[in-house]
Structure 1
Amino acid sequence: MEMSGTTTLFGAKRVSTAESPLHAEAEGLIWAMQESLNRRYMSVHFESDCQQLVNLLQRDEEEWPALAPELDEIKALCTSFDTFSIAYVSRSLNIRADGLAKGVRSRDLRVTYVQSCAPWWLAPVANQMDAV
């Protein structure tokens, strides 16, 4: 959706295996960053319900050796953007993203989706939020 020159994209990709939920979040962010670059979005703001990942990215002093390759890749991708930011948004305040995640998991889909709205077939609850 477009609001005052800003495009909001929603995306979903099922990752079949990850070492931990934190790794899955990091892999999801890497995918979203790559998709944004592929679409030539150079000023981006990401929101995540994974406070631990957001904290790791915003505070360089904390080390997480098991996640180092993913964090290095995220930091390298950050340099490709003119503007990059990430913020924590609780799951209860991010109904669309939560609906996408639940929709992909509940249907066991192997799908990649990037669009300006949530797909009706994937997350009916998320699309109902458009009417609010």
Structure 2
Amino acid sequence: MKHYLLLALMSPLLTLFANQADANTLDVTIDNNQPVGPLMVEVYDDATKYQQTKTPIARFMMPAKDEPLQFEISDLKAGDYAVRMFQDLNSNGQLDANWLGIPNEPYGFSNNGGAYGPASFDEAKVAVADGETTAISITLR
């Protein structure tokens, strides 16, 4: 009977800690953005999906500003995440490139990876730990 009473008293505490498991946040600051054209952002938690640019866990658009942008991605599970983005200067919904495939619009990756082409998941991945806010800065090129 003591065990049932102890379990009944501990249940609310266990629920509290269980809810904190997904309370992890990625705090993102974007530098070198232009005041024209929205930023298109994708967040991945899987290397294969990242490589294939399929099914990100989050995809959203940020309005343009003439100052560094900052936003949070919350309710993440602990693990590795990669963020990729571009600023859609002509608002056509895609990253425009020249005939060589070099982007004509500003783009960036978490960890500022991809100095010579698109960053791999390993170059861009950021570890998000339980119960913590992880801050990253992405400089658009």
Structure with higher strand content: 2
Normalising to structure 2: TM-score of the pair?
0.28
Structure with higher helix content: 1
Higher relative contact order (CA 8 A, sep 6+): 1
Higher Rg? 2
